[in-house]
Structure 1
Amino acid sequence: MLMKILISGGAGFLGSHLTEALLEKGEEITIVDDLSTAKYFNIRKDVEFIKKKVEEFETEKKYDVVIHLAARPSPEDYIEHPVDTALSNSLGTYKMLEIARKSNARFIYTSSSEVYGSASIIPTPETYWGYVNPIGIRSCYDESKRFSEALIMAYHRQYKLDTRIQRPFNVYGPGLREDGTYGRVVSRFIYQALKGEDVTVFGDGNQTRAFLYISDWVDATIKLIYKDGLEGEVFNIGSDKEIKIIELANMIIKLTGSKSRIKYLPPRPDDPPRRAADITKAKEKLGWYPKISLEEGLKLTINWFKGVLK
């Protein structure tokens, strides 16, 4: 049966890949996005596209599923736009929840591993409450994500809304912006290496992250959308395999055949020293686990960038 699905942030990196997967299933997709972070997005004729900030969006239309993705996920970008960042993850979340409530729709929220802050348990389970600086330079993002989760659970408890929250961990792949304040670590490193520029590492590079290829994220999200019996659940969607950022930089230099050198920059404020996902719950309740290795995913991403940068 055809489902009507509303996706905020559907023009972004995650949203565009998810939209493609849902269109292949024959669903009717509406995207609301202000295009503030979108770069590699082509507006398809079979998608209803509304250019608008999510916090300003209202509609009387009814949907079967509401997916709230709209956010500024790059640290440089959200630090530069703290008010917009906080609003999309607070007022924007409220607007999307109200649409879901009036539609009696299933509500899917893409939160972030940032809600854990500088976690003391690695890999980090969903039961960890988080250790964050509520007034720090990153708080516009991580605290607004935490507020969104609280508001979503309030809607679940008070209105019995079918809500599902996912916390992605460092998703990467083709279509991830590499430029300016939007560039995140994998795409930035690949771009710099292919251009023969210095690969810029914040701090000493010993901080760790666990990376997830985009197709694995899409697979998990599809399960989260369609599977019954997950009301009020929260899932880590990521990898439990840590890698040091300096090791990632060297791996990308090697895979691209680049002669780039490593350039160290001052560390970012409040940058968590380690991050990896405990995905036990996703394995048990979603039947999901990552299938693409880091090296394989990097090769796919590098090949895509080679085509884009010709």
Structure 2
Amino acid sequence: MSKILVTGAAGFLGFFIARQLASDPNNLVVCVDNFIRGENDSLYQELTSRENVQAITADLNDSAAVALLPDDIEIIFHMAALNGTQNFYERPFEVVRCCTLPTMHLIEKYGPLNTLKRWIYAGTSEAYASTVTRFGWEVPTAENVPLGIDDIFNSRWSYGASKMHGEIATVNGCRHFDIPFTVVRFHNAYGPRMGDKHVIPDFLVRARSGVFELFGHEDTRSFIYAEDAAKATIALGYADGAKDQVVNVGSEDEMTIRDLGYAIMKAANLEGEIVLHPSPKGSVKRRAPNISLLRQIAGYEPEWTLEEGLKKTAAYYLQDSEEA
């Protein structure tokens, strides 16, 4: 059996990745989370009750806790982070801590053991956001875009800068220990269990009270459903062509946040007027990835349309669904 460690497995994408990996009986999946943001809900309990899944509660910010993790791990999907736009502004130092220390501790533990066949790091498009905003970089944006920090005094950059640090730590740490690595730059994945600190669930949670509001309605984004993002990430984790590469994972279908709001209303059968607000300071005006490399390496094509994904997500948030 392949022994695979998934950090942040009780969170959003970590959960979907761990569940897809666990569907293969030849995998032994070790799920790690400290529940600072992840949920120990019925879905996670069902996952961790499977015979080929082991659950560990551990704070990866603590090097002593990391030292106690199993030694014989072959692949790591390092998904743990403190994400969510509201968290960037309200808990910026905690965001920095949770997005930097675990990466360093994990590489320092597993690097000398010589057991890892691949390290997969969860990067983010936030790492290059200022390049698009400041310098008008091409959108859809490819992986060779320069990374940058627009304003260190804006708390929003607590996340983007920390994940940029994670990419640098991944490249240099894995080179130092001769570990094959893949940096996956996610672009606005969405779906059930993603918390309420992102635009789609935030809109749906407000909608439960009959309030329809959108912030940054003129900004553009593209959205990938969690199942597709997990499928793409796992494919990259095993693809030889993804070794020592940065690869975008997302959708090239760019749309305004205003149009997203109307798409959510339609998918959820909601009626009402949407109140539109400007973006918070520092918000990125345009974002969509070029996914040519993902298609080339992993043969990736999405299985979920935006409409299908929004319907599934709306059902979860509006009906207190325990299905994801």
Q: Normalized against structure 1, the TM-score is what?
A: 0.91
Q: Which residue of the partner structure matches residue 85 of structure 2?
A: 75
Contact 1:64/1:103, CA 8 A, preserved across alignment:
no
Paired residue secondary structure (2:242): coil
Aligned-partner Cα distance in 2 for 1:208–1:274 = 5
- State which drifts further: 210-219 or 86-95: 86-95
CA distance 1:217–1:42, change in 2 (3 Å)? same
Aligned-partner Cα distance in 1 for 2:300–2:321 = 34
Q: Which residue of the partner structure matches residue 67 of structure 2?
A: 58
Contact 1:62/1:103, CA 8 A, preserved across alignment:
no
Matching of residue 104 in structure 1 with residue 106 in structure 2: no
CA distance 1:298–1:291, change in 2 (3 Å)? same
Q: Which residue of the partner structure matches residue 169 of structure 1?
A: 187
Q: Which residue of the partner structure matches residue 7 of structure 1?
A: 6
Matching of residue 121 in structure 1 with residue 138 in structure 2: yes
Matching of residue 298 in structure 1 with residue 302 in structure 2: no
Aligned-partner Cα distance in 2 for 1:199–1:240 = 26
Q: Which residue of the partner structure matches residue 37 of structure 2?
A: 37
Matching of residue 237 in structure 1 with residue 243 in structure 2: no
Aligned-partner Cα distance in 1 for 2:29–2:75 = 10
Aligned-partner Cα distance in 1 for 2:140–2:90 = 30
Aligned residues: 303
Residue by residue over 1:6-29, the C-alpha shift from the partner in whole angstroms, topping out at 9 and shown as x without a partner, is 111011011111111111112112
Aligned match for 2:170, one of 149, 152, 156: 152
Aligned-partner Cα distance in 1 for 2:270–2:303 = 27
Q: Which residue of the partner structure matches residue 267 of structure 2?
A: 255
Aligned match for 2:199, one of 181, 185, 210: 185
Contact 2:9/2:38, CA 8 A, preserved across alignment:
no
Stretches of 4+ aligned residues off by more than 4 angstroms: none
- State which drifts further: 244-253 or 34-43: 34-43
Contact 2:147/2:164, CA 8 A, preserved across alignment:
no
Paired residue secondary structure (2:235): helix
Contact 2:140/2:287, CA 8 A, preserved across alignment:
yes
Contact 1:125/1:236, CA 8 A, preserved across alignment:
yes
Matching of residue 227 in structure 1 with residue 268 in structure 2: no
Question: One-letter code of the match for 1:51?
Answer: T
Aligned-partner Cα distance in 1 for 2:95–2:159 = 6
Aligned-partner Cα distance in 1 for 2:109–2:233 = 20
**Deviation of residue 254 (structure 1)?**
2.4
Aligned match for 1:133, one of 131, 147, 150: 150
Residue by residue over 1:52-76, the C-alpha shift from the partner in whole angstroms, topping out at 9 and shown as x without a partner, is 2212132362200112111122010
Q: Which residue of the partner structure matches residue 160 of structure 2?
A: 142
Aligned-partner Cα distance in 1 for 2:22–2:49 = 12
Aligned-partner Cα distance in 2 for 1:256–1:190 = 9
Question: One-letter code of the match for 2:192?
Answer: P
Aligned-partner Cα distance in 2 for 1:286–1:152 = 21
Aligned-partner Cα distance in 1 for 2:161–2:194 = 24
**Deviation of residue 241 (structure 1)?**
0.8
Paired residue secondary structure (1:17): helix
Structure 2 unpaired stretches of 5+: none
Aligned-partner Cα distance in 1 for 2:266–2:195 = 21
**Deviation of residue 267 (structure 1)?**
2.4
Paired residue secondary structure (1:166): strand
CA distance 1:134–1:29, change in 2 (3 Å)? farther
**Deviation of residue 229 (structure 1)?**
4.3
Aligned-partner Cα distance in 2 for 1:131–1:158 = 24
Aligned-partner Cα distance in 2 for 1:87–1:170 = 22
Paired residue secondary structure (1:55): coil
Question: One-letter code of the match for 2:150?
Answer: N
Q: Normalized against structure 2, the TM-score is what?
A: 0.87
Aligned-partner Cα distance in 2 for 1:80–1:254 = 31
**Deviation of residue 306 (structure 1)?**
4.2
Structure 1 unpaired stretches of 5+: none
Contact 2:204/2:318, CA 8 A, preserved across alignment:
no
Paired residue secondary structure (2:276): strand
Identity percentage of aligned residues: 28
